[in-house]
Amino acid sequence: MLEVITYPNPLLRQISKPIENFDESLHQLLDAMYETMLNKNGVGISAIQVAKPIRALLICLPDEEGNQHKENLLEIINPEIIEKNGEILFNEGCLSVPEFYEEVKRYSSLKIHYQNRYGENLQLEANDYLAVALQHEIDHLNGILFIDKLSIIKRKKFEKELKQKRKS
C-alpha cells in the first residue's frame, strides 16, 4: 500500500506531467494505487496523492450496496476534458483532505479523451457522480483541491476545523 499525502503538503499543488511510458512500472503503480484507494475507502485517487506527479487517476464507483468491484475500475491516463455541460452540487470529500466534506459546484456531464494503461486512446462520457469524481481527480492533476472551490465562508470553516484538529 502507498502513503497518501495530505493537505497542506506542497506536492498537492504541483501540476502533474503527461505519461509517455506505458510500461510495467506504470502498471505496478496503478495496481498499488487501486489497493491504496480501496484500503482508504476512496472512490478515486490520483497519482499525485501518492507523491507521483504524473497524469494518472483511478475511479471505482460503488454499486447500490456500497461495494466496489474491479470490473468497474476506470484507469485514466492523460485525461483531457473536451466537453462539459450542466451544473450539479455534490458533497465531496478527499483522501488528501481527511474528515472534511463540503458541497462543491461541478459540471453535471462531461466528455473526456484519455489513455488506458496500455496507451490506447479512448473517450468517455460521464454524468452526475462519475462526472463529479472525474473533475475532482483531474483537478488534482492540475494542483487544485476541492477546498479551492469553496466559498470564502466555507473555506474559513475548513481552515478553522484544520487548526482545531492540529491542536488535538
| Separation of alpha carbons 146 and 71, rounded Å | 27
Q: The C-alpha cell of 21 is what?
A: 511510458
Query: In the annotation, is 80 catalytic?
Result: no
| Separation of alpha carbons 146 and 139, rounded Å | 8
Catalytic residue among 120, 137, 159, 161: 137
Q: The C-alpha cell of 119 is what?
A: 496507451
Q: Quick one: which of 77, 83, 82, 101 has its CA closest to 91?
A: 101
**Is 27 marked as a binding-site residue?**
no
CA-CA-CA-CA torsion sign (25, 29, 30, 35): positive
**Is 136 marked as a binding-site residue?**
yes
**Is 60 marked as a binding-site residue?**
no
| Separation of alpha carbons 94 and 23, rounded Å | 28
| Separation of alpha carbons 96 and 44, rounded Å | 11
Q: Which residues are annotated as a binding site?
A: 94, 136, 140
Q: Which residues are annotated as a binding site for Fe cation?
A: 94, 136, 140
Q: What positions carry a catalytic annotation? A: 137
